[in-house]
């Protein structure tokens, strides 16, 4: 075989190897990243042909269902949310035009029937592929009560079962109607009140009086305090050189730690925290989960860990 033919053969072999390499890269090595890319609408187009599983509240109320459009080859399913804005942030949305959010995103594998790969393959081959239903721990009555309690004020409410950590209510105000996402997303996204922002999982609000439980746990474990330890609960008591107020300016005398926790007395728990020191309090904050993402079934990009906020640097004139 002469030399030019050998070179030509080598060139074609090299080109074929490059072709195999690049097709393998896109179809195998980077298949997962391509599927998860927000600019890739093909998975959403394919999923429109599959009826997504229904999402239920704790009491069986339907929070997300499907509306069928077209027939046979043109048949597709569009998501509908019967409760409107009541569970907008908790449930989220799923639309080909705008992707997914909330439980619709974090539990997409279940809702499209892909959580069990073998079962999904059998359903696909049989032509009966459909999503699996999802039952949440959300309670419509508690959700409505929490939203009413906010009274339209910007903020959030989360109600948990202490023994299990189950989320019974998750409200974020301002909210939105997920049914309006396809035609109203840009307006919602540019709204100054940020209705798409989930304040329950993404905002960093001061913990308020719930933090007294953290301080109490640290105090009792330290051995320096007991439930019967007595401290002054007077109003305007200086803590670290600054007078501190009790709620409503209420003045208490000598009280036990049990009474101080029952009545949520600010000055007592501020004194206890100051006596324990920053390191001890920070250690117990971490034990209670501060600094970590909440362990709930929700998209990671829609979770923000709580923790110590660094003070903003002062601007020099």
Separation between Cα atoms, residue 302 and residue 297, nearest integer Å: 11
Separation between Cα atoms, residue 87 and residue 12, nearest integer Å: 59
Residue 264 annotated in active site: no
Separation between Cα atoms, residue 171 and residue 159, nearest integer Å: 9
CB 302 within 8 A of CB 102: yes
Residues near 90 by Cβ (< 8 Å), separated by ≥ 6? 102, 103, 136, 138, 143, 167, 170, 200
Number of other residues whose CB lies within 10 A of the CB of residue 69: 11
Q: Where are the alpha helices (DSSP H) in 206-298?
A: 211-222, 257-262, 266-276, 278-287
Q: What's the half-sphere exposure (Cβ side, CA atoms, 13 Å) at 66?
A: 20
Catalytic residue of the set 209, 228, 229, 274: 209
Separation between Cα atoms, residue 144 and residue 84, nearest integer Å: 12
Cis amide prior to 303 (ω within 30 degrees): no
Number of other residues whose CB lies within 10 A of the CB of residue 268: 29
* 199 to 173, 175, 202, 203, 291: CA distances (angstroms): 7, 10, 5, 5, 17
Task: Tell me which residues are annotated as active site.
Answer: 209
């Amino acid at each position: 075989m002469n030399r030019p033919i050998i070179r030509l053969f080598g060139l074609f072999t090299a080109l074929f190897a490059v072709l195999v390499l690049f097709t393998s890269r896109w179809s195998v090595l980077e298949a997962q990243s391509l599927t998860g890319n927000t600019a890739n609408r093909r998975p959403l187009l394919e999923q429109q042909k599959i009826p997504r599983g229904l999402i239920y509240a704790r009491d069986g109320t339907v929070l997300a269902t499907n509306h069928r459009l077209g027939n046979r080859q043109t048949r597709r399913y569009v998501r509908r949310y019967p409760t409107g804005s009541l569970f907008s942030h908790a449930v989220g949305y799923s639309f080909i035009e705008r992707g997914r959010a909330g439980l619709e995103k974090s539990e997409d594998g279940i809702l499209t029937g892909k959580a069990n790969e073998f079962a999904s393959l059998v359903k696909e081959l049989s032509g009966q592929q459909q999503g699996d239903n999802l039952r949440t721990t959300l309670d419509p009555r508690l959700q409505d009560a929490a939203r009413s309690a906010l009274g339209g004020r910007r903020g959030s409410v989360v109600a948990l079962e202490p023994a299990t950590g189950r989320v019974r209510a998750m409200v974020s105000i301002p909210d939105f109607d997920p049914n309006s996402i396809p035609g109203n997303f840009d307006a919602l996204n540019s709204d100054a009140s940020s209705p798409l922002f989930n304040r329950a999982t993404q905002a960093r609000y001061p913990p308020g009086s719930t933090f007294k439980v953290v301080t109490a746990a640290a105090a009792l474990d330290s051995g320096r305090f007991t439930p019967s330890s007595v401290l002054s609960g007077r109003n305007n008591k200086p803590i670290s050189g600054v007078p501190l107020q009790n709620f409503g300016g209420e003045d208490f005398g000598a009280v036990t730690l049990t009474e101080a926790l029952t009545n949520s007395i600010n000055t007592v728990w501020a004194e206890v925290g100051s006596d324990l020191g920053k390191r001890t309090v920070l250690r117990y904050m971490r034990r209670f989960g501060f600094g970590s993402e909440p362990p709930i079934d929700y998209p990671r990009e829609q979770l923000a860990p709580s923790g110590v906020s660094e003070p903003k640097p002062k601007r020099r004139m």
